[in-house]
Amino acid sequence: MNEFEATITDLSHDGRGVARIDGKAVFVSDALPGEEVLLRIRRRHRNFDEAEMVELRTRSPHRVEPRCRHYGQCSGCALQHLDAESQIAAKQRVLAENFERIGKVAPAAWLPPLTDQPWGYRRKGRLSVRHVVKKGRVLVGFREEDNPRFVADIEQCEVMHPALGPKVGLLGELVGTLDAAGEIAQIEFAAGDDTVALVFRHLKPLSESDLGKLTAFAQAHDFAIYLQPGGISSVHPLWPEQPRLAFRIGAGEGVPEVELEFRPLDFVQVNAGMNRRMMARTLELLDPQPSDRVLDLFCGLGNFTLPIARRVGEVVGVEGEHGLVERAAQNAMRNGIANARFEVANLFEDQRNTPWARQAWDKLLLDPPRAGADKLLEYLPHRDTQRIVYVSCHPGSLARDAGILVQKHGFRLSAAGVMDMFPHTAHVESIALFERG
């Protein structure tokens, strides 16, 4: 028997409902805590099972109708059926549980959650492309929810930048007309304030006819189109000849104004509105003073470094990718900032003998990838560092590193909270303040 009646008791880290059948955890797609459901087991594992909901018998008061007609098929979102307030509460709960379970710490105060526009927010991403010969069509989109080997058949995306979201189906139609329809592997998109760029990864050289079709599409829809015949270094513009991608932060938001230029495959924060709000909170927590020396680790393009530089005596940004460091330095020059400098260093390797690691820093900013910053915390911060702001994209690594800062380095976790960088997904972005003593 594969069908069971069950009560959903919790929400998993990936947004599925959690039930228990004979003491075994069962993860149920599209189910919410408090709901009574009839479920069907789809996959069995040693320690848990996966199920789909056959019938919803008792509806949660927090359930809402998904806005996207492709929801449930596309893996791009996991929580459109849960109201916005409950999404935030679930993410805050995940963060708190990670602090308690992994770091054995708790913040002295919880920060109010940061939220922004929940739709049309995604300015960066990668779309998969699949030429389905039997259907005579090309599919462009995110992967399917139930089968990540396949591309979801979607026409539009509600969370994607509004200049592109309604046109996902048109991309599939475009690729389907190309001679190289079966040789386009993916399309990456990146939106600046004034330009939306599409990067076509193609496995074989494109014909003149294909180049003409791509150019005409770019002109008709006001996109900048880049081609990528090989690795990242092979990316080059097709049309226009010299597109410019840039975004502004600050000005009227309590944040010093800067503009950052970037390339279409560079890392930038996915959510432009949330990036501005996150910047304001970061500066509030860091409390930069004119005499401060600040170290910004995993600095990327200088997203945090350059606004901080407007407020302090000196700031140094450190990043592992040479191209990002080069563009960060160019952004500093472009904004007339002379008190920021940048260093290239693999921050997952021991850098304790480098000059920047041996120097005294009043304050630190950490914005690591999912792996966190535990390798750095073996030799940083020094005793003269009084304040650390940690921006995290993974609650588990933040909780682990919080334990290290508190137990090994003598900091206290003064405040922490979530930032809804990815609405309608289970992704938890957060920020934490650590103070000495």
Report, as residue numbers or ranges, the catalytic residues: 393
The residues near 138 (Cβ < 8 Å, ≥ 6 apart) are 129, 130, 131, 132, 172, 173, 175, 176, 181, 184
CA distance 420 to 437: 30
Which candidate, 45, 55, 47, 72, places its Cα nearest to that of 3?
A: 55
* Dihedral sign of CA atoms 431, 367, 340, 437 in order: positive
DSSP letter (8 states) at residue 376:
G
Which candidate, 74, 248, 206, 229, places its Cα nearest to that of 153?
A: 74
Phi, psi dihedrals of residue 91, rounded to the nearest 5°: -70, -40
CA distance 316 to 213: 45
CA distance 20 to 34: 13
157 backbone φψ class: left, alpha, beta (φ>0; ψ -120 to 50): beta
Residue located via tokens 């949660």: 60
Phi, psi dihedrals of residue 24, rounded to the nearest 5°: -100, 135
Cα 269 to Cα 28, 110, 279: the distances in Å are 31, 23, 11
- C-alpha angle 337-379-304 in degrees, rounded to nearest 5: 25
Phi, psi dihedrals of residue 37, rounded to the nearest 5°: -135, 155
* DSSP SS3 for 236: strand
